[in-house]
Structure 1
Amino acid sequence: MTRYVSSCFITLFVLFLWRVEDIADACRCSPPHPQQAFCDADIVIRAKVVGKKALSNEIKYDIQQIKMFKGPDRVIHAVFTSSSPASCGVTLETNKEYLFTGRLNTDGRMHLVMCDFIQYWEDLNGTQKNSLTQRYQSGCDCTIIRCSSLPCPVSAPDECLWTDWLLADGQSGPQAKYSACLKGRDGSCAWYRGMAPSKK
């Protein structure tokens, strides 16, 4: 009897660990370069979180929109996210200002997931903040290719290799913080630090 109980316990424990691992692995994504996140998003805004309300399967964060960089011609008053981290739900702090990149659902609501570029506004540097007004948009014809191990060949002239990941810097690396992938005079894309390429 003792052996039977022990066997059942071990089986249940293994199943529990498998379920926990399954939940933990349910939400996986590669953090995007800020420019790629901008280009892929339906809405990009700077906003302050002013309230939180738990709904049936999601969380509604009331926000005070400060500036819209990309999106519909209206004010966004709330963002929605899954209540479960396993479903890529996002946890936000009230009374904090963020840069949000997100999707516009068919019902007109802005939805956020972990894979979006969501940063405290105060953590963005001057180059990133200035790039939101024009530079990132002008580079949306280019494609940023994540390079995490060599070799990482560029297969087309409209691609830029994002090599911050070679040193595990990711979104904290110099290309993410200070550069944008833009088209030059010859029509090919390349990294430009600071100002956009010359139009002369």
Structure 2
Amino acid sequence: MTRYVSSCFITLLVLFLWRVEDIAEACKCSPPHPQQAFCDADIVIRAKVVGKKALSNEIKYDIQQIKMFKCPNQVIHAIYTASSPAACGVTLEINKEYLFTGKLETGRMHVTLCGYNPPWEDVSAAQKNGLTRLYKSGCDCKIIHCNSLPCPISTTDACLWMDWGTNNGQNLACIKSNGSCAWK
């Protein structure tokens, strides 16, 4: 009987260790540059959160859309996010305005921690200018985030983003001019 119990224990331990990587998965991503988030998003809007409802595996935030920066001409009344930050879900405050960059999936807007969804009050004047004028013209460029030196860049259609501990680079836009991309 002891060998049977021991065998069951070892089997359970092996199964647990095999699945521990899946259990320990958490949201992993680097914060994107505002322009890259704009270009990668299906929808970019300024909106006020007016309600919240927990669904089975996600949270639905009711919103009042204030301004549309990028979207296939539709009004968004709600955004959806995963139910926890570990699953890349965004936590929002009721009666607060945000800039949302998200994906359109089956007619619904989804946002994640891997997107760019700051409170509107934290969006700088330069970023607001980028949203209305510059970012769209720079979507042919790729912004490469450099975390440590050396940061090789071997293409003319990219800008190197080395914003170590500052937010200065978030106020710039990467724009293509004369066949190559550069910070503006």
- Quote the residue 1:86 is aligned against: 86
Q: How far apart are residue 25 of structure 1 and its match?
A: 4.1
- Quote the residue 1:191 is aligned against: 183
**79-88 vs 68-77, which moves further:** 79-88
SS at match of 1:29: coil
Distance change in 2, residues 1:137/1:51 (3 Å): same
Q: How far apart are residue 82 of structure 1 and its match?
A: 1.0
Match for 2:174: what amino acid? C
SS at match of 2:183: strand
- Quote the residue 1:197 is aligned against: none
Q: How far apart are residue 86 of structure 1 and its match?
A: 2.0
After TM superposition, the runs of 4+ consecutive aligned structure 1 residues lying more than 6 A away are: none
User: 163, 173, 181: which is aligned to 1:180?
Assistant: 173
Using the size of structure 1 for normalisation, the TM-score is 0.80
1:24–1:86: 8 Å Cα contact kept in structure 2? Answer: no
- Quote the residue 1:152 is aligned against: 151
What is the alpha-carbon root mean square deviation over aligned residues? 2.0
- Quote the residue 2:68 is aligned against: 68
Whether 1:35 aligns to 2:27 is no
Q: How far apart are residue 23 of structure 1 and its match?
A: 5.2
1:26–1:87: 8 Å Cα contact kept in structure 2? Answer: yes
Report the Cα distance in structure 1 between the residues aligned to 2:24 and 2:101, rounded to whole angstroms: 23
Q: How far apart are residue 168 of structure 1 and its match?
A: 3.0
Give ranges in structure 1 of 5+ residues lacking alignment.
1-7, 193-200
Deviations 1:95-147 (A, max 9, x none): 00000000000x20001111010000011111101110120000000010111
SS at match of 2:101: strand
Report the Cα distance in structure 2 between the residues aligned to 1:162 and 1:69, rounded to whole angstroms: 23
Distance change in 2, residues 1:85/1:23 (3 Å): farther
Whether 1:168 aligns to 2:153 is no
Identical counterparts, % of pairs: 68
